[in-house]
Amino acid sequence: MPEEHHQLPYRQVLDAALTWVCAAHDATGGNGVSAGYDLRTGWQPTYPETSGYLIPTLLRGAVALDRPELADRATRIGGWLLGLQRPDGSFPGGTGTEGPAVVFDTGQILLGLSALHRHTGRPELSESAVRAGDWLLDAQQPSGAWLSHFDHPNTYSSRVTWALAELWRATDEPAYLAGVRRSLAWLLEQVRPDGWIDGMSFSAGHTAWTHTIGYALRGLLRCADLVEAELPDTARRCADAAVTCAVRLAGVRTDLDPLLPGEIGPGFTPLVDYACLTGDAQFVTVWLDVARRTGDETLRRRAVAVLDRLAGLQVHQPLEPATVGALAGSWPLSGGFEPLAFPNWAAKFLADAVLEHADDARRHHPALTATRP
C-alpha cells in the first residue's frame, strides 16, 4: 500500500494519542501523568516512571504535529520530576510519589531528563541526570546486572543501560561507559543459542509479556548505536542478539495475527490468546529499526500491518470520553495485561510507533517531502 495512504490517518492517530496524554496530565492537576484510565475506577494516580519516558515522545510529537504546547507539557513534567528526586539521586518507583526507589523507574526518568536537557539546555536537568546516573552505578550488581521491581536480575533493564549510555554521551564520564560495558557483557550472557533472551519478565515466576520483551530489545538496539564507536564488538553482538530475537518473534503466528500473543516463552512459544497492545506498539518500532539495519522488507510490512491494526483499536468513539485517543492494555479488553484499562505507556508507544514509521517512510521514500506523519 502506498505510503501516501498512511500519512493522514497516522497523523490523526498521533494527534489523538498525545491529546489523550495531555488529558492524563491534566487529570493529576499537572503533577505528572496519570498511570492511565481504568473503566472500573477512573483515572489512576500519577506515575513518575512513565511520566519521565513520555518526555521524549512529547518533544518529538511537538515537532511532528507543530504543537509547541506538547513541548511545554514536557518541560512542566520535567520540572515536577526534579522536585521528586531524592538526596541520593534516585526517584520513587511505582505510582504516586512515596514509593521506594526502583532502578528501572529511575532509569526511565533519566531518559526523560536527558532528552529535556538536550531540548532546553537547562543546567539543573543535567545536574539531576548526573545524580540519577551516579545512583544507578551504585545500584548496579557486580555482575553488571540490574535488579528491579522484584529483585530479579532482568534483561528488560537494558533500557536502564540505554539511559546510562545517553548520560555517557552527554558527559564523557568514563564511569558511565564502564557501567554500560558491564551491563552489556551480562546481557549477552543471557542470550540462548536459538536467540531467546532470558530474564525478559518482570519476575522469575512470571512469563514475559511482549511489553517487557520490547523493552529488552529496544534497549539493546539503542545501546548498540550509542556505544558502537567505543565498544564495537560488544555493540555489534548486542544488536545481533536483538535482531535475531525480533526476527524470530515476527514469525510467531496465532489467531491474533498480525498482533503477537501477549505472553511468549522460551523457544518463542506463544502462551496466551490475548494481545498486549503496548508490546505490539513497541514491536512496530523494534521491527522498523531491525528492517533499517537488515533491509528485511518482510519485517517492515509486518510492522505496518501491526500499526494499522493498532490504529483501528485506538479509541475513537466517545462512549467513554476519558478514553478517546487511548489504547487499551490488552485485546480483548479483559486480557491479562492491564485488563479493562488504558495505560499511559500504551499511548506513548503507539505515538512512538507512528513517529518511527514516519521517519522510516522519509528514509525509504525521499520523494515524500512531508515533514510530519
Q: 366 pLDDT exceeds 90?
A: no
- Tally of CB atoms within 10 A around 76: 15
Contact partners, residue 328, CB within 8 Å, separation at least 6: 277, 313, 315, 338, 341, 342, 346
| Residue whose grid cell is 510467531 | 252
β-bridge partners, 208: 264
User: What is the C-alpha to C-alpha distance for residues 264 and 266, in angstroms, rounded to an integer?
Assistant: 7
CA-wise closest residue to 28 among 73, 62, 68:
73
* Contact assessment for residue 155 and residue 147, using Cβ atoms and an 8 Å cutoff: no
57 to each of 45, 53, 133, 331, how far by Cα in Å? 20, 7, 21, 24
Q: 188 pLDDT exceeds 80?
A: yes
Q: 346 pLDDT exceeds 80?
A: yes
Global pTM? Answer: 0.95
Q: Does domain 3-364 have CATH number 1.50.10.10?
A: yes
Grid cell at residue 246: 525480533
pLDDT in tens, 112-158: 999 999 999 999 999 999 999 999 999 999 999 999 777 789 999 99
3-class secondary-structure state, position 141: coil
CA-wise closest residue to 224 among 212, 215, 233:
233
Q: How confident is residue 254, by pLDDT bands cut at 50, 70 and 90?
A: confident
How many Cα atoms within 13 Å fall on the side-chain side of residue 58?
Answer: 32
Contact partners, residue 310, CB within 8 Å, separation at least 6: 13, 277, 280, 281, 284, 327, 350, 353
Q: What is the mean pLDDT of the chain?
A: 94
Q: Where do the domains of the chain lie?
A: 3-364
Considering the chain, what percentage of its residues have pLDDT values greater than 90? Answer: 89
Buried b (16+ CB within 10 A) or exposed e, 329-351: bbbebebbbbbbbbbbbbbbbbb
* Contact assessment for residue 120 and residue 105, using Cβ atoms and an 8 Å cutoff: no
User: What mean pLDDT is predicted for residues 170-194?
Assistant: 98
User: What is the C-alpha to C-alpha distance for residues 348 and 356, in angstroms, rounded to an integer?
Assistant: 12
Q: What is the reported pLDDT for 314?
A: 97
* Contact assessment for residue 113 and residue 132, using Cβ atoms and an 8 Å cutoff: yes
Higher pLDDT, 30 or 7: 30
Q: How confident is residue 344, by pLDDT bands cut at 50, 70 and 90?
A: very high
User: What is the C-alpha to C-alpha distance for residues 318 and 316, in angstroms, rounded to an integer?
Assistant: 7
* Contact assessment for residue 304 and residue 298, using Cβ atoms and an 8 Å cutoff: no
* Contact assessment for residue 275 and residue 330, using Cβ atoms and an 8 Å cutoff: yes
How many Cα atoms within 13 Å fall on the side-chain side of residue 355?
Answer: 20
